[in-house]
Amino acid sequence: MLSWDIILKKMKLKKPKFWDYSRPNFFAYILLPFSLLTFLTNYFKDIFFSNTNKKKFDKVYKICIGNIYVGGTGKTPISIEIKEILTNLKFKTAFIKKNYPDQVDEQKLLSNNGNLFCKKDRSTALEKAIESDFNALIFDDGLQDLNLRNIYDISIVCFNAEKGIGNGFLLPAGPLRESLKNLKKYNAVFLNGNDENTIDIQNKIKKINPNIKIFNSKYLITNLDNFDLNQNYLIFSGIGNPDSFIKTLKHNNFKIIKNLNFADHHNYSDYDIIKIIEMAKKYNAKILTTEKDYNRLSSKNVENIEFIKIKLKINNKQELVQFLENGYENN
């Protein structure tokens, strides 16, 4: 698969706005020939790769939580919620993640919520976790990992409830890593976010895979009592979907006087923080960011910067518990 999303990150580019339009525009059609390359690359890799022996790992419950829409779909919060459920079901659970140098923020979030095995390739992390006697492993990302995607007992796809499938095109004309038709091979979908109207995307998903399980969740701020909602706030973030961050704050009555957006997984320099602090003083505002962004700040730059802690409240949680139990019994 062509890593157009990785190219964006390496070049420190923000996601094009037209990716999120409900219909393709002129720029999307201009880039459409390059999307054909993405389709063909995916097609031939499906044919010639994916030969991992599932039986080799059949004593371990393996759940992959990924996306086909690039960035900001809530994979990590869902991974944490599922880990909590599996722990309550008496599984010895760990997270598996590929070690990307620019994703220390997600690694810190996972390690703060459980055991994390993070290596240059997921296969090595998987083997290390098995050696440590874990019997349930949650892969935060990895649906497109050709070495492993045949071994998962359950494969879950996350979407942002508001963005949906965007304009529906493959990268780089749209935000999709692979064709929506591939939903036929996945077990469940999470629609994450505070958008109440998810009927359209649910119908589209069910047309492709009538048997797929669909779960909905909403973002909750767990440390809301720490903030003075009468205060003005300057907010900044470098995440895949900053709109969800803003929407969650507004839903909780934060007074946002200035919003600064950076590229996803942005590595904040001292200069960035100096400019943010100067701007906050200009507006007489406190500084607020996401927990992921806070984890990317150097220790000398965190003073006077606050962050919100987010979790996802799963609307039909008991159905998810049953789904996970059935997934283990059936595999």
Kindly state whether residues 212 and 93 are assigned to the same domain.
Answer: yes
Kindly state whether residues 144 and 73 are assigned to the same domain.
Answer: yes
> What angle, rounded to 10 degrees, do the helices at 75-88 and 104-111 form?
20
| CATH number (domain holding residue 274) | 3.40.50
- The pLDDT mean for the chain works out to 91
Residue 298 maps to a domain: yes
Residue 242 maps to a domain: yes
Q: What is the pLDDT of residues 153-167, one digit of tens each?
A: 999 999 999 899 999
Closest alpha carbon to 19 in 11, 29, 28: 28
Question: What mean pLDDT do residues 202-230 have?
Answer: 96
Instruction: Determine which of 8-12, 27-31, 71-75, 139-143 has the lowest per-residue pLDDT on average.
Output: 8-12
Kindly state whether residues 301 and 238 are assigned to the same domain.
Answer: yes
Residue 177 maps to a domain: yes
Task: Note the pTM of the prediction, 2 decimals.
Answer: 0.92
* Greatest mean pLDDT range, 173-177, 197-201, 301-305: 173-177
Residue 188 maps to a domain: yes
| The dihedral sign for the CA sequence 118, 12, 74, 145 | negative
| CATH number (domain holding residue 114) | 3.40.50.300
Q: What is the pLDDT of residue 1?
A: 43
Residue 102 maps to a domain: yes
Kindly state whether residues 319 and 268 are assigned to the same domain.
Answer: no
Instruction: Determine which of 14-18, 241-245, 262-266, 302-306 has the lowest per-residue pLDDT on average.
Output: 14-18
Q: What is the pLDDT of residue 224?
A: 97
Kindly state whether residues 187 and 68 are assigned to the same domain.
Answer: yes
Question: What mean pLDDT do residues 59-85 have?
Answer: 95
- Residue 171 clears pLDDT 80, i.e. is over it: yes
Kindly state whether residues 244 and 275 are assigned to the same domain.
Answer: yes
Q: What is the pLDDT of residue 292?
A: 94
Domain tally for the chain? 2
Residue 324 maps to a domain: yes
Kindly state whether residues 126 and 236 are assigned to the same domain.
Answer: no
Q: Please, are residues 312 and 259 in contact by the beta-carbon 8 Å criterion?
A: no
Decide: residue 246, CB within 10 A, 0-12 exposed, 13-18 middle, 19+ buried.
Answer: middle
170 lies in which domain range?
Answer: 54-219+313-330
Q: How confident is the model at residue 54 (pLDDT cuts 50, 70, 90)?
A: low
Q: What is the pLDDT of residue 2?
A: 44
Residue 94 maps to a domain: yes
Residue 154 maps to a domain: yes
Closest alpha carbon to 303 in 280, 326, 331: 280
Q: What are the helix (H) ranges across the chain? A: 4-10, 26-48, 75-88, 104-111, 122-131, 199-208, 242-251, 270-282, 291-294, 317-330
Q: Using DSSP, state whether 264 is helix, strand or coil.
A: coil
Q: Please, are residues 139 and 62 in contact by the beta-carbon 8 Å criterion?
A: yes
Kindly state whether residues 99 and 204 are assigned to the same domain.
Answer: yes
Q: What is the pLDDT of residues 106-149, one digit of tens each?
A: 999 999 999 999 999 999 999 999 999 999 999 999 999 988 88
Kindly state whether residues 179 and 229 are assigned to the same domain.
Answer: no
Kindly state whether residues 204 and 277 are assigned to the same domain.
Answer: no
Kindly state whether residues 318 and 237 are assigned to the same domain.
Answer: no
Kindly state whether residues 139 and 233 are assigned to the same domain.
Answer: no
Instruction: Determine which of 16-30, 48-62, 74-88, 207-221 has the lowest per-residue pLDDT on average.
Output: 48-62
* Distance from C-alpha of 266 to C-alpha of 258, rounded to nearest angstrom: 19
Q: Please, are residues 223 and 308 in contact by the beta-carbon 8 Å criterion?
A: yes
